Chains A and B, each alone.
Chain A
């Protein structure tokens, strides 16, 4: 640690402000509206279920909100056809 580090210790308040601004911008916008991620999860599940039988637990939908854009991550595990054929399951 150099002697200079003593003088330029990073302050935490600006980080707090930035995090709050980002979070509240999102929370205000989504206030009173149904949760987007859970709607997406349900609808994606419905589409997939038309063709393949999957377990609720094998579908992961997550959202990572950024300042300028957000990423939606969808992780679906579909069992191999030989393992669980749709016909058999029905």
Chain B
């Protein structure tokens, strides 16, 4: 039985889709069979980030409505044979998803794959709740910024109340993934620190992804950063986060950047 992981955040634009692609590819690299499911019906983007946008024929809604078989809708990654994508529908709206339909698709994916990553839409409405509904674990993507942290707190509340596991009295495992972390700004006290975020959310840390141009470049090229440039810092951070997700006890090192005295003085003046 595979594990179902929802990648969620509440707030939009914090890096859910990028993180789903990067974590999924990182796990698939180790030989595990991984399915990435896009739940953002109407605003799908995981296909684009994965570079599979021209190969989409059928989608999640087709499978749920029985107009396509699951095996027809799954797109196999061209780089990794253990990695698959189930795209969202671009033309339908989110009401096309039913809870029973999602339950069935997830159950079937779970029986075939080692990991099922559900890329949640932003918000706390139906689409986001269906994406988390059958999850065993949750990755809460958070930027070190007030509105993102507040929304993450709200999502944590929903995970503890509205998931199947929570309703059955079980514990849903939650991890915070801090993205777009700028070590220099945090050390100058201009950005919430990792300690601040963890203390406020009181949820364990999965990893810290530094703000990096490599992530944008990977998106431009349509390749998860962990596949296209596995040696750069953001990709390394994702690879380590994926190992922690698989249960490895790997300490998180907070990126640190200390500027020289003169540089700091000049930097402050410029700011």
Contacts and interface: CB of A to CB of B under 8 A. Distances in A.
A69 interface: no
B140 to A, nearest CB: 14
Q: Is the interface of A mostly helix, strand, loop or mixed?
A: helix
B190 A27 contact: no
B161 interface: yes
B265 A12 contact: no
A23 to B, nearest CB: 7
Interface in B173-200: 186, 188-193, 196, 199-200
Interface residues of B, number: 21
Classify the interface of chain B: helix, strand, loop or mixed: helix
A16 B193 CA distance: 10
A24 B150 CA distance: 7
Nearest to B186: A13
Nearest to A6: B268
B250 interface: no
Contacts of A31: 157
A6 B265 contact: yes
B149 A20 contact: yes
Contacts of A6: 265, 268-269
A24 to B, nearest CB: 5
A6 B264 CA distance: 10
B38 interface: no
Contact of B192 (A9, A13, A23, A27): A13
A11 B188 contact: yes
B196 A24 contact: no
A13 B157 contact: no
A35 B5 CA distance: 33
A11 B199 CA distance: 19
Closest 10 pairs (CB-CB, A-B): A11-B189, A17-B196, A13-B189, A16-B146, A24-B153, A13-B192, A20-B200, A31-B157, A16-B192, A20-B149
